[in-house]
Amino acid sequence: MATSVYLSNPNVTINSVDLRDQCTSATLNYVYEQLETTAFGDTAHKFTKGLQNCEVTLTLFNSYGSNEVEAALYDAVNVGTATLVISPSGTTESATNPEYTITGCMLAEFTPINSTVGELSTQEVTFTGGT
């Protein structure tokens, strides 16, 4: 059985702002809702694909200034939608390093200040929806 192994180093951009140097974790769930089509007389449940519902969760270091985390997230919350581009490793996209572009996703909230003495300031944000 063939195996592909790579060092996790995702590219992450939010509305064209490159945040790969501030991101420590990225998870993309590519999901379609299940719609039940079971009818009388069926002997098992049947389903069909419904609407797409992506979810992207990022863990980011809080950083401030133009083209940094706080500015990108502030804009995403206030505009109401965002475009995310994520790839698993490196900058060269290929069959073994696909790039996912999620347009029209929503960030409902973020935490611009999350500070504890002696610790790096981080936050976890979740974008939902989009195609």
Task: Provide DSSP, 51-93.
Answer: EE--EEEEEEE---STTSHHHHHHHHHHHS-EEEEEESBSS--
Task: Give this prediction's pTM.
Answer: 0.84
Per-residue pLDDT band at 97 (split at 50, 70, 90):
confident
Q: Give the pLDDT confidence score for residue 2 in this predicted structure.
A: 56
Residues in Cβ contact with 81 at an 8 Å cutoff, skipping those fewer than 6 apart: 103, 104, 105, 106, 130
Instruction: Compute the chain's Rg from CA coordinates.
Output: 18
Which pLDDT does position 32 carry in this prediction? 92
Residue 50, pLDDT above cutoff 80? yes
Query: Sorting pLDDT into bands at 50, 70 and 90, what band is 95?
Result: confident
Q: For the residues 81-105, what does the mean pLDDT come to?
A: 86
- The mean pLDDT of 59-77, rounded to a whole number, is 93
